[in-house]
Amino acid sequence: MKSLLPLLALAALALAAPQQQQQPPKWYAGLPTVKLPNGEWQAAKYDTANDLYVFKNIRFAAPPVGRLRFAKPAPPAPNTTLQLGAYGPSCPQSVPGGLLPGGLTSSIDVGSFLAGAAGVSEDCLFLDVYVPAKAWSREVGPLPVVNWIYGGAYLLGNKEGQYDGTPVVRASGGNLIYVAGNYRLGAFGFLAGETMEKSGAPNAGLWDQRAVLEWIQANIGLFNGDPGAVSVWGESAGAGSILHHLTAFGGTKPALFKRAVAQSMAYDAQIDRKGQLEKQFQEIAKLAGCATGGIECLRGVSTAALKAAQDKYINTLPGGKPGFGPAVDGDLVRQMPPLELASGNVAKGVESIINSHTSDEAKMFTPAKATDSTFTAVTEHYFGTYPPVKAAIAKKYDVGRFGGDQVARIHDMFQFSTFTCSSRFVSEGFKGKTYNVQYSRGGGMHGSDIAADFYVPKTGLAALFTTDRTFGDFATNYQSYLISHARSGDPNKFRGNGTIAWPAVTWGPTLKNVLDAGDKGFALIEDPVTKEGDCEFWKDAFAGMTSGLGFAPPGAVVQSSYPPKGNPSANYKL
């Protein structure tokens, strides 16, 4: 089953490959236009079957190249010519070799799968808007807005293909507007550490996502969207990104969205700003030929050279993890999200959240074969900078608990630390405001819920992958929960006839009233993979690492069972 990831990824990329620009049809000149602060855009098409307009490749930020590489997104320059949305490359990306099927050990250049009219470029900060015609003509509205953030291990993905917004707008009956934007990936978007904090912008990919949300607040009214009714949706790295937006700036700033759907929140504890994260930056610099030139040298190397350095780096990492992603920076990511959630330091103004995981998140990321040295290498890479936590992990996940099965041992560690406990942490930070779901249909592999999110019969993933005869009805009903939530904040208000009433989650040692979306339809269960004992262990470990390494924000120190060593905030300001 591990080979499912590259299959899904490459299928998604095949769907995402930009199509060659065709000659405009006779009615093209009649498509609507919108005047934005940086220029005028014309709708790229009118979808007659679904009665909606699609505005493609609206530039929301300046090209992040040259001095803007590793910087926060900058405002785009004005453009005086009418824009048709023909240009919109994907950001540089690759598939980590550790997640490829047997025998393939190096990263592959997914740009070859995106070769076409637009391809891949660092000039990639574009977004799409899907607008029902009845909203554009002001027959209804202003309409709620869904902003999709794609997943892909923070290394691959884009706004295209399987994330076409038509299924979402279609499922809403034309009662939503859909927006999706690109964000920088890998070394281009997620380098962090001391050097980046002083001379660049850690978490540039998160800043790109935030720029899309700010663009929506400023401009969606021009499309007859409601900036006060924005839902942010995401899966895997997209949901992990949402986790960070829910706790951005330690909750000191209002949210740029009202609702959220976070599916399979991928989270890795990237905290050691002076150690692990700085070491990663220096290693990338060395591999790119900038061992002594620092960030200025890295800004000057070619896209190909930086991407090659990224690929070499990720192929040295243990296990199935990609190695890049949001990191603690003392600013946008003040400290680890689980600790902010435990302290109530969350974005203000969030009305409700659908909080999701699949039943087997970790299988795809667990090595097919493992030894004790594999486990040691994984824990050393992610937790080795604070030995007390590393030792506690080895004890908690002693191989004897798993009958000597090293693979099962790593699987459980990934399952709880990286995925499922995030659901519990978000439910803690937003008590009474979360609707929790376990997606178990078809074995509940990581990413399997996307086919239901964007389901349209005989198109997209529904056409590429065999589904059973009942999947269409199931997916339509599953979609109805998400659409209802985006429209009203309540997944029940507009839910389908084949669904059941879904209450907010009940907090306790186990989470109750969790919706299981499975092979037999929908049922309410106690969540088997977010139990207090498993998840409190990880929260305690994260708190111990934060204080032990001196990165706790002053006034927001989360207590742990690990004995403190000196000032827990000694290294907070680098």
> What is d(CA 329, CA 332) in angstroms, rounded to the nearest whole number?
7
> What is d(CA 526, CA 548) in angstroms, rounded to the nearest whole number?
34
Task: Extract the tokens encoding 130.
Answer: 């899907």
> Considering only CA atoms, which of 73, 31, 78 is closest in space to residue 55?
31
Q: How many CA atoms lie within 13 A of 173 on its CB side?
A: 10
Q: Which residues contact 92 (CB under 8 A, 6 or more apart)?
A: 111, 120, 121, 122, 124, 185, 186, 188, 303, 306, 307
Rg, the chain, Cα only? 23
> Considering only CA atoms, which of 364, 394, 361 is closest in space to residue 377?
394
Q: With beta carbons less than 8 A apart as the criterion, state whether 374 and 406 touch.
A: yes
Determine the angle formed by the axes of helices 372-383 and 387-396, rounding to 10 degrees: 140
> What is d(CA 45, CA 48) in angstroms, rounded to the nearest whole number?
9
Give the SS3 label for residue 354: strand
Run of H or E including 522: strand 521-525
DSSP alpha helix (H) spans, 252-371: 276-287, 294-300, 303-314, 337-343
Could you count the other beta carbons within 10 Å of the beta carbon of residue 31?
Answer: 17
Run of H or E including 524: strand 521-525
The residue from 90, 107, 172, 236 that is catalytic is 236
Catalytic (active site) residue 236: yes
> What is d(CA 11, CA 1) in angstroms, rounded to the nearest whole number?
16
Determine the angle formed by the axes of helices 237-246 and 421-429, rounding to 10 degrees: 30
Task: Extract the tokens encoding 316.
Answer: 């040295």
Give DSSP secondary structure letters for 200-267: S-TTHHHHHHHHHHHHHHHHGGGGTEEEEEEEEEEETHHHHHHHHHHTGGGGTSB-S-SEEEEES---
Catalytic residues: 236
